[in-house]
Structure 1
Amino acid sequence: MPTSFGDKLVVAISSTALFDLQESHRIFMEQGVQAYSTYQIENEERPLEPGAAFSLVKKLLALNEQGSDSKPRVEVVLISRNSADTGLRIFNSIEAHNLTITRAAFTGGRNPYQYVSAFNAHLFLSTNPEDVRKALESGFAAATIVSKVKADKSSTGNLRNELKFAFDGDAVIFSDEAEKIYKNQGLDAFAKSERASAKSPLKGGPFKSFLAALHQIQRDFSEQDCPIRTALVTARSAPAHERVVRTLRSWDIRIDEALFLGGLSKAEFLRAYEADVFFDDQQFHCDSAGELVATGHVPHGVANE
């Protein structure tokens, strides 16, 4: 019988972001597709270890158990370049780790980005930059997981109840219109332009719709009891802060914390915030943050041209 996800938050994730497939990938690169397939089939009863986005997914799914209304709020779907044969190990691993993921698309090596649209996902996480770029070009929030942090298997059953998201601003939540001025004309021109445009809302970036979907879940809870917390972590500083604040206000979207760092390194602030995941368009910010927290590079905007 046909069904839909209704007003659920839908997150699509690749098998390589969810699980540690480094050994499998090494075999694929060194020995080819057939050796990879044989290896996965021979080991399909051996669960894969958690990958960089495992804890995030675990906590996303736990949102379905939050609140007194028992309302299902999140659907996680698997989108993978594996075949159905090699994908059996992925599904077995999902079951072994007690993840309530029941829907998947296995594309047999082809780019799976079109299924992000078919599932109407609010977010796509992968370790394949090509797949992520295609999803972004199709208008979906997407990020390449670049983090070196993996879930601690011993702690995955006792996770903190609060789920903390951190976002860069320009080219992630907002468009890159202001960043283009900074890149092309320098800091002084950027500050002058932002001061002049302080009351003109920025256009939305690729993660605006995902942030809005998170905000819809937050509305189901009081601010004190909400299991989701969001933070803007930006290199902006005063006076460029005003346009950001007014933009979010015009969108009627709540950000719980805002860090205007004026060019300081973001990594230690993300540690202090205790972020579960951080999204940024700048590769160097992702590289430093990825040592501490799960990090997604958003290959969008002028910094990635």
Structure 2
Amino acid sequence: MAVSFDEYLVVGISSRALFNLEKENEVFETQGLDAYREYQLSHEDEILEPGTGFTLVNNLLSINEKTGKKLVEVIVMSRNSAETSLRIINSLDHYGLDINRMAMSGGENISRYLKAFGVDLFLSSNEFDVSDAINNGFAAGLVYNTDQIYRTDNDQIRIAFDADAVLFSAESEKIFQEKGLDAFVKNEVENQDRALKKGPLAKFLLCLANLQQNTREYQLIRTAIVTSRDKNSGRRVLKTLRKWNIDVDEVFFLQGANKAAILKSFGANIFFDDQDVHGLPASEVVPSARVLYKKGQEPK
């Protein structure tokens, strides 16, 4: 009987988001495919260093071990060919990551396989693949690959989200971009009893909340919203979550203050934001990813 992924939280992650492949990617970008192939083959026995998404994946997989149940499935989804993927397999084995499913597209768009695997979240360093995933209705993030070595004091899964254009639609964000802060706050206060529409990562939050509820006795997952909204415009966020029947563990209304310090204190395994102005500083202290806008929905 074929395996069904319907009852798992399924995360698809590219090899470059899971491991540090920046040097290899530079070879590909500057010298071409043949040079990249030769480099990977000649370094096949060298173990790759952890990348931006490594801690998140490691902690997610630990849920299965701690609960004694198969609740999380992680799939490496790589543009590598079968021939150049052995180094990735060797690295998975070295770190003891319980990942046995891989999709290797040989340079083609990998996001076309998200539906086949029932992926709930897709993380990649390839902007085209992430954009294609978002446009096809999948939760996805463009990982910031940095030279930072991220450390956390616990093995909980801690995930933080921006609000507008991430968990919620970009409708209110557009008002801010086009009419300014006062118009934005006025709109949110006047419409505080009308739930915000779901954004690109709303479905993932729902899946995460369900998994959190099913493993509550183990206290494995903690979530946070870290938004530039103030408390007045934040009322709509809280009322929307209530209507969605979702409990988020921590909420921060920062009124435009820098998010990085809060995220570092929270100890996020990953933070999702829609803007580089927040995502880039955050990526200096915690693993971060940018949530791209759907085609035609970009704020001016």
Shift of 1:32: 1.3
User: Is this contact kept in 1: 2:173–2:299, CA < 8 A?
Assistant: no
Match of 1:292 among 285, 289, 293: 285
Q: Report the Cα distance in structure 1 between the residues aligned to 2:115 and 2:165, rounded to whole angstroms.
A: 21
AA paired with 1:139?
A: G
Greater than 3 Å deviation, 4+ residue runs? 149-152, 301-305
Q: Report the Cα distance in structure 2 between the residues aligned to 1:280 and 1:303, rounded to whole angstroms.
A: 14
- 1:210-238, Cα deviation, whole Å (9 max, x unpaired): 10111111112337x42100000000012
1:58 aligns with 58
Shift of 1:2: 1.3
1:11 aligns with 2:19: no
1:119 aligns with 117
Q: Report the Cα distance in structure 2 between the residues aligned to 1:148 and 1:246, rounded to whole angstroms.
A: 36
Q: Does the residue aligned with 2:164 lie in a helix, a strand or coil? A: coil
Aligned residues: 298
Q: Report the Cα distance in structure 2 between the residues aligned to 1:89 and 1:55, rounded to whole angstroms.
A: 19
Provide TM-score, normalisation by structure 2: 0.95
AA paired with 2:170?
A: D
Q: Report the Cα distance in structure 2 between the residues aligned to 1:168 and 1:87, rounded to whole angstroms.
A: 34
1:239 aligns with 232
- 1:161-207, Cα deviation, whole Å (9 max, x unpaired): 21110000000001111111111111111111111101000010010
Q: Report the Cα distance in structure 2 between the residues aligned to 1:244 and 1:21, rounded to whole angstroms.
A: 38
User: Is this contact kept in 1: 2:17–2:145, CA < 8 A?
Assistant: no
1:191 aligns with 2:189: no
Task: Show structure 2 runs of 5+ residues with no match.
Answer: none
- 1:256-301, Cα deviation, whole Å (9 max, x unpaired): 0000000001001111111111000011101100100000011126
1:32 aligns with 32
1:138-153 pair list within 5 angstroms? 138-148=136-146, 150-151=148-149
User: Is this contact kept in 2: 1:279–1:297, CA < 8 A?
Assistant: yes
The 1:37/1:147 distance shift into structure 2, 3 A limit, reads: closer
- 1:122-150, Cα deviation, whole Å (9 max, x unpaired): 10001111110000001001011114255
1:132-171 pair list within 5 angstroms? 132-148=130-146, 150-151=148-149, 160-171=154-165
Q: Does the residue aligned with 2:215 lie in a helix, a strand or coil? A: coil
Q: Report the Cα distance in structure 2 between the residues aligned to 1:177 and 1:85, rounded to whole angstroms.
A: 45
The 1:277/1:76 distance shift into structure 2, 3 A limit, reads: same
Q: Report the Cα distance in structure 1 between the residues aligned to 2:147 and 2:233, rounded to whole angstroms.
A: 32
Task: Show structure 1 runs of 5+ residues with no match.
Answer: none
Identity of aligned residues (%): 44
Q: Does the residue aligned with 1:240 lie in a helix, a strand or coil? A: helix
Q: Does the residue aligned with 1:113 lie in a helix, a strand or coil? A: helix
Provide TM-score, normalisation by structure 1: 0.93
Cα RMSD (Å): 1.7
1:22 aligns with 22
- 1:88-111, Cα deviation, whole Å (9 max, x unpaired): 211111111111111111111111
User: Is this contact kept in 2: 1:147–1:291, CA < 8 A?
Assistant: no
User: Is this contact kept in 1: 2:153–2:267, CA < 8 A?
Assistant: no
AA paired with 1:61?
A: L
